[in-house]
Amino acid sequence: MRGFLIFVIFAGLGFVFLRQRQNGTQPVPAKPVATQSVAGKPTPAALTPAPRGQASQYNWMKRSLDRARDVTEQSRAQTQESQKP
């Protein structure tokens, strides 16, 4: 009975793995030949980073790093202020 349960668990995990792998990888289509002239393509704008403290709402990692740096700077400034004679 224990062996059967182990087999069912492994079979289920294998099925889930193969199902996700099948959905995740899409075949790359052949590159179509471009028919437009080179002058007709607009050049993409260069990506510029957001100013500090202005991260988008979806970029929670950047916001947390910005907040950590702000707190560190505040703490450092407060320590320097308290040590002045």
14-29 pLDDT, tens digit per residue, is 999 999 888 876 655 6
Is pLDDT larger for residue 55 or for residue 2?
A: 2
Asked whether the beta carbons of 56 and 50 are under 8 A apart, the reply is yes
CA distance 39 to 1: 71
Average pLDDT, the chain: 79
Supply the pLDDT for residue 16: 92
By the 10 Å C-beta count (0-12 exposed, 13-18 middle, 19+ buried), 41 is classed as exposed
Chain-centre distance for alpha carbon 16: 24
- Distance from C-alpha of 13 to C-alpha of 24, rounded to nearest angstrom: 16
The model scores a pTM over 0.85: no
